[in-house]
Structure 1
Amino acid sequence: MSVSLSDYRAAVRTPGAAVPVLGSALGRLPIAMYGLAVLLHVQRTTGSFASAGLVSAGILVGMSVGAVAQGRIMDRRGPARVLLVVAALFAGASALLLVLVATGRPLGALVAAAVLAGATMPALPGASRSLWTALLPPGPRRDAGYGYEAISLEVFFILGPAVAAFLVAAPWPGTGALVAASAMVVGTVVFACSRAVRAVRGVPRRTGRSVLGALASPGMRTVALASLGFGVVVGTVEVGVPAVTSAAGSAALGGVLLSAWSVTSVLGGLGYAARPWPRPLHLRLPVLLVGFAVAVAAMTLAAATGSVVATALVMLVAGALITPQTTAHSVAIDVVVAEGAGTEAFGWVVTAATVGIAAGQSGAGVVVEAIGPHAAFLVGGVGGLVVAAVLWLRRASVESAATPEAVPA
């Protein structure tokens, strides 16, 4: 289904959307900022990157669990009250973490607090995505709403780390983490208190429903697998690019290139939405992942020459396929899960991507040390192609769930 710029404008101008859109933007902006700000704060306070990495990993572990759990509760009870409770818990957990860091508590206590902060971090992306389902009927405008969520999140991933890096230079190194947590809490409260969000009612759990929830759907498992493969490829690039630029003598350049990667992702998402291919959603998931994996694998050849410019050019091409994939994952949720399970389903997508990124980063780190920076991209390429092959074998699980109204061929 093609989406035009007018569809994006119409979606964000939908009656009742203005306040939750603004609240969601404020609350989601620090998503990429919070973990990095905490990592930099812990590193500056303890002098140990290893300790900082463990604390940051604790946040990711907590987020992976919390996104699914919060999503399931919101689907049953509605998002407003759940988000307000979680925002209060997150404020307390974040304050606890900052106090523990400032008072020099043991690493185990820091990691435990980080897991708690991650688990209570408001699952605003899933709730914001599900709001479009309540505000708009199936069609180009709803797809534009999903596209807006994916594109805006890419923009936040550009701005968030830059703001965190800037604030760590403040007199108190915890300033970035405090600002990120505060923005997340305030944005969540604004979103949850808006009339449109308060009007959303949950769907009571049906008797006999599987304990797996949304993941009980074979199609949903396929979408989660697509998100996992996507995360693996992204994770290898996030390690490989800084490794290449560091070998060339400029570690800071890696962050600049990753930001530029997000820019081409946004532009690619807008262009792809106007002319999506392949049009059948069950084919789109494996095909987009194949293209992404091949483009990242090609970065191996560019990096092997030692040229940062060549590596960057291929990386920018690969970046154009990021937002089309995340948007396809979001659209597929409407197709493969039952009504009233969308927020939880998006939580599984986020969790799968997080696990994939962690796996990709770990694998890339090992081969960079053993072989060299260029080998990191080969890990991503091969991993992505393997997952894409499984997606192709499982494509019927998405096709059988699709309806002509949901995804026209």
Structure 2
Amino acid sequence: MVGPYRGLFNGPGIKAFVLAGFVGRMPMSMIGIGIVLLISALTDNYATAGAVAATTNVAFAVGAPLSGRLMDRFGQSRVIPPFAVINALGLAALLFSAGLRLPEWTLYASGLVVGATSLSVGSLVRARWSVIHGGSSKLHAAFAFESVVDEVIFVTGPALVTVLATAVSPYMGLAVALVFMFVGCLALATQRRTQPPVQPARSGGGTPILIPAIALLSCVFLAMGAVFGSVDLITVAFAEEEGVKGAAGFLLASFAGGSMVSGLWFGSRHWRISLQGRFVRALCVFALGLVPIVFIGDARVMAGALFLAGFAISPTLITGFSLIERLVPPSLLTEGMAWISTALGFGVAIGAWAGGRLTETYGASNAYIFSLGAAFLAVIVGIGGSGFLRVPEAPSPAQS
């Protein structure tokens, strides 16, 4: 399993940007659940908590392609610092608005700023890998590694923010996320040697979302994002219903843990199945894996079910980003990857909102039906439009 990853980090500056990207990405698994835990603790209202989290995710979804285009045009080192500063101020404003019991609209306003200035750090890091290993079979291993990093973050982040918010202070989870974001993003901005080259502005340049395959992938990841957003919120409420609210982060970590294990295995293999075929198969496994959670009413059993349900997440994301790398012109690469983050962000927002409403009305266990439905919608769209996803295969390890 180690073979394909051997030598992946040999090269000037690679370890530095990988480490900075890891730290800067930690908030992506902390902010959503941190907002839910903070606001639900203060208001005892999951609908409001979900709505504020959804506002943040919608703002991120809208802003991600714009920040991606700015990265392509001006370079990561120039664009990251101002975004990081404004994002830190927005997080601080959200904490103060909650702590001082300011009017509810201030929570939405500060959440809007946080989302709009949150950077898709995973896209920035993957764009660097694409420049370093583009056209090589090592790019598959690099994307697999990044997917595993994402899942390590989603294993540790929710557990960390839950412990901080429930055992220390409701505000502490978001405060720690602020520190991770600021330190990691500024550290990444200093890694100029490995950043993608600046692309000159072009008249009538267009946007990757107009490419049919990218539009299709965005629709699939929109539905997947709805799964993630709803599962996050519903699982917090499920843990509270079971009398173990402090275990919510660990339940979500189980979901990510399954994806982490499968990502290591998936990235270590040289696949003969086409990228298109891998993507569709992973989607089907993802939807089927979610079926059991609808019928479970025990937190310990749910942890195991979520672990198994997470197995197809990494393979789907790995193949999705690999398809983006093949389908998008180099001059639009960061923006193209950011559109996946945008789709996921919109989906998470929809899922958080719907999950909150359904949980309030029908209870957490019944609300999981929405997550399952969104997963099957992703499968239907992915299979129906799979013809757009045919791309040339990467060279084999012997050729690269």
Distance 1:307 1:112, change over 3 A: closer
* Partner deviation per Cα, 1:189-245 (whole Å, 9 max, x = no partner): 111111324x532222432233xx110111111221221232233344435545555
What does residue 158 of structure 1 align with? 155
Whether 1:289 aligns to 2:283 is: yes
TM-score, normalized by length of structure 2?
Answer: 0.87
What does residue 37 of structure 1 align with? 34
After TM superposition, list the pairs within 5 Å mapping 1:62-73 onto structure 2: 62-73=59-70
What does residue 202 of structure 2 align with? 206
Whole-angstrom CA distance in 1 between matches of 2:243 and 2:169? 30
After TM superposition, list the pairs within 5 Å mapping 1:10-409 onto structure 2: 10-44=7-41, 51-168=48-165, 173-197=170-194, 200-210=196-206, 213-239=207-233, 241-242=235-236, 245-275=239-269, 279-300=273-294, 302-303=295-296, 306=297, 310-364=301-355, 373-399=364-390, 402-405=391-394
Whole-angstrom CA distance in 2 between matches of 1:249 and 1:175? 22
Query: Is the CA contact (8 Å cut-off) linking 1:226 and 1:286 kept in structure 2?
Result: no
Distance 1:407 1:67, change over 3 A: farther
Distance 1:277 1:11, change over 3 A: closer
* Partner deviation per Cα, 1:289-345 (whole Å, 9 max, x = no partner): 111112212433x42xx4555554443222111111111111111122111212112
Distance 1:50 1:238, change over 3 A: closer
CA shift, 1:277, in A, is: 6.4
Aligned length in residues = 397
CA shift, 1:384, in A, is: 2.4
Query: SS state of the match for residue 320, structure 1?
Result: helix
CA shift, 1:271, in A, is: 1.6
Distance 1:327 1:47, change over 3 A: same
The letter of the residue matching 1:129 is: R
Identity %: 27
CA shift, 1:73, in A, is: 1.0
- Structure 2: gaps spanning 5 or more residues: none
Identify the range of structure 1 (5-14 vs 129-138) with the bigger mean alpha-carbon deviation: 5-14
The letter of the residue matching 1:181 is: L
Query: SS state of the match for residue 193, structure 2?
Result: helix
Whole-angstrom CA distance in 2 between matches of 1:37 and 1:241? 13
- Structure 1: gaps spanning 5 or more residues: none
Query: SS state of the match for residue 194, structure 1?
Result: coil
Query: Is the CA contact (8 Å cut-off) linking 1:229 and 1:289 kept in structure 2?
Result: no
Whole-angstrom CA distance in 2 between matches of 1:257 and 1:170? 17
CA shift, 1:76, in A, is: 1.8
Distance 1:102 1:25, change over 3 A: same
Query: Is the CA contact (8 Å cut-off) linking 2:238 and 2:365 kept in structure 1?
Result: yes
Distance 1:225 1:277, change over 3 A: farther
CA shift, 1:61, in A, is: 2.1
Whole-angstrom CA distance in 1 between matches of 2:384 and 2:38? 45
Distance 1:183 1:381, change over 3 A: closer
Query: SS state of the match for residue 168, structure 1?
Result: helix
Whole-angstrom CA distance in 2 between matches of 1:169 and 1:296? 28
TM-score, normalized by length of structure 1?
Answer: 0.86
Identify the range of structure 1 (217-226 vs 267-276) with the bigger mean alpha-carbon deviation: 267-276
The letter of the residue matching 1:149 is: E
Query: Is the CA contact (8 Å cut-off) linking 2:144 and 2:266 kept in structure 1?
Result: no
RMSD (CA atoms): 2.9
Query: Is the CA contact (8 Å cut-off) linking 1:245 and 1:308 kept in structure 2?
Result: yes
CA shift, 1:17, in A, is: 0.5
Query: SS state of the match for residue 7, structure 2?
Result: helix
Query: Is the CA contact (8 Å cut-off) linking 1:236 and 1:379 kept in structure 2?
Result: yes
